[in-house]
Amino acid sequence: MIRRSMLRSSVALLLLVPSFAGAQQNDPERSFSAQRDAAEAQDTARLAALVDDREALQEALDAARERQAAENERRDELETRQAEQRKRLDELAARRDELGSDDQKGVDVQAVADVLDRHVGELRDELANSWLTLGELALPARGSTETLLTPQRLETVADALMELTRESGGITRLTVPIASVEGQVTDQKVVRLGDMAAFSNGHWLRQGEDDMPPAIVEHTPTAAQETLQAFANGEDKGLMLDPTRGKVLDALAQHPSLLERFHQGGAVGYVVVALGALGLLVALVQYGYLLIVTTRLRRQLKNLDRLHHNNPLGRILHKFGAVRQGLAPEALEARLDEALLAEQPRIERGQALVKLLAAIAPLLGLLGTVTGMIVTFQAITVFGTGDPQLMAGGISQALVTTVLGLITAVPLLFAHTALASRSRQIVMVLEGQASAVLAEHLEAQPTSVDNRHGVEHASPLA
Answer yes or no: are the C-beta atoms of 368 and 400 closer than 8 Å.
Answer: yes
Note the pLDDT tens digit of each residue in 203-220. Answer: 778 777 767 788 877 777
Kindly state whether residue 92 falls inside one of the protein's structural domains: no
Most confident of 268-277, 308-317, 428-437: 268-277
Across 121-144, average pLDDT? 75
Evaluate if residue 106 carries a pLDDT over 70: no
- Same structural domain, 273 and 213: no
Shared domain for 272 and 389, answered yes or no, is yes
pLDDT for 220 equals 73
- Is pLDDT at 344 greater than 80 in this prediction? yes
Q: Is residue 83 part of a domain?
A: no
The percentage of residues in the chain with a pLDDT greater than 90, rounded to a whole number, is: 13
Q: Is the pLDDT of residue 129 over 70?
A: yes
Say what the pLDDT of residue 238 is.
74
Same domain, 153 and 189: no
Give the DSSP H/E element, type plus range, for residue 174: strand 171-179
Of 419, 420, 411, 415, the C-alpha closest to 272 is 411
Q: Average the pLDDT over 324-347 and give the result.
A: 78
| Of 331 and 281, the one with more pLDDT | 281
Please write the tens of the pLDDT for every residue from 180-208. 877 778 888 888 877 777 888 877 787 77
- Specify which of 163-177, 246-260, 274-288, 309-323 reaches the highest per-range mean pLDDT: 274-288
Q: What would the mean pLDDT of 28-41 be, rounded to a whole number?
A: 70
Per the model's pLDDT, the better-predicted residue between 424 and 456 turns out to be 424
- What are 58-84's pLDDT values in tens digits? 777 788 888 898 999 999 999 999 999
**Band of the pLDDT at 325, cuts 50, 70, 90?**
low
**Helix locations, 169-265, DSSP H:** 222-232, 247-254, 258-264
392 with 254: CB under 8 angstroms?
no
List of residues 6+ apart from 368 with CB closer than 8 A: 265, 266, 268, 269, 272, 397, 398, 400, 401, 402, 404, 405
Greater confidence (392 vs 338) lies with 338
Within this chain, do residues 164 and 177 fall inside the same structural domain, yes or no? no
Residue 206 bridge partners (DSSP): 215
Look at residue 389 and tell me if it is in a domain.
yes
Among 19-23, 40-44, 385-389, 422-426, the minimum mean pLDDT is found in 19-23
Element (DSSP H or E) covering residue 458: strand 455-458
Average the pLDDT over 416-424 and give the result.
92
Query: Residue 357: its pLDDT value, please?
Result: 93
Whether the predicted pLDDT of 9 surpasses 50: no
Nearest to 404 by CA among 439, 362, 459: 362
pLDDT reading at 20 higher than 70: no
What one-letter code names the amino acid at 11? V
CA 117, CA 164: separation in Å to the nearest integer? Answer: 17
Verify that 433 and 452 share a domain, yes or no: yes
pLDDT at 229 over 60: yes
Residues contacting 394, CB < 8 A, separation 6+: 372, 373, 374, 375, 376, 377, 378, 379
Hey, CA dihedral for 357, 358, 361, 362, is it positive or negative? negative
Q: Is the pLDDT of residue 400 over 80?
A: yes
Single residue among 35, 60, 77 that ends a domain in this structure:
77
What pLDDT is stored for residue 420 in this prediction?
92
The kind and range of the H/E element at 433 are helix 389-444
Q: Are residues 379 and 294 in the same domain?
A: yes
Query: Domain limits at 399?
Result: 266-456
Q: Which of 234, 255, 276 is the last residue of a domain?
A: 255
Residue 452 is predicted with a pLDDT of 36
Instruction: Choose among 340, 361, 320, 307: nearest CA to 429.
Output: 340
**Cβ neighbours of 350 (radius 10 Å):** 21
* 452 against 411, higher pLDDT: 411
Q: What is the model's pLDDT at position 390? A: 62
pLDDT recorded at residue 52:
67
| 260-295 exposure pattern, b = at least 16 Cβ within 10 A, e = fewer | ebeebbbebbebbbebbeebbebbeebbebbeebee
| End-of-domain residue from the set 204, 230, 255 | 255
84 occurs within a structural domain: no
Q: What is the pLDDT of residue 194?
A: 78
The C-alpha atoms of residue 407 and residue 417 are separated, in whole angstroms, by 16
Judge if 381 and 450 occupy the same domain: yes
Looking at the 3D structure of the chain, how many domains does it have? 4
Reported confidence tier of residue 459, pLDDT bands at 50, 70, 90: very low
Q: Are residues 283 and 159 in the same domain?
A: no
85 within domain boundaries: no
| Residue 261 maps to a domain | no
Count CB-CB contacts under 10 A for residue 24: 15
Whether 301 maps to a domain, the answer reads yes
Q: Are residues 312 and 445 in the same domain?
A: yes
Amino acid in the structure at residue 264: Q
One domain for residues 244 and 293: no
* Mean pLDDT, rounded, for 255-277: 80
Q: How does residue 10 score in pLDDT terms, banded at 50, 70 and 90?
A: very low
% of the chain at pLDDT higher than 70: 74
pLDDT score, position 279 = 93
In a shared domain, residues 112 and 189 = no
Phi, psi of 344 (to 5 degrees): -65, -40
The set of long-range contacts for 47-51, using a CB threshold of 8 Å and a minimum separation of 24, is: 47/8, 47/11, 47/12, 47/15, 50/11, 51/4, 51/8
Alpha-carbon distance of 253 to 267, in angstroms, equals 25
Distance (Å, rounded) from C-alpha 378 to C-alpha 368? Answer: 15
Range in 97-101, 229-233, 357-361 with the lowest mean pLDDT: 97-101
Do 351 and 282 sit in the same domain of this protein? yes
**pLDDT at position 370, please?**
84
Amino acid, res. 414: F
In a domain, 86, yes or no: no
CB burial of 176-185 (b: ≥16 within 10 Å; e: otherwise) equals bebbeeeeee
* Phi, psi of 175, deg, nearest 5: -125, 105
* 401-414 per-position pLDDT tens digit: 888 899 999 999 99
Average model confidence (pLDDT) across the chain: 75
Sign of CA dihedral 327, 330, 331, 336: positive
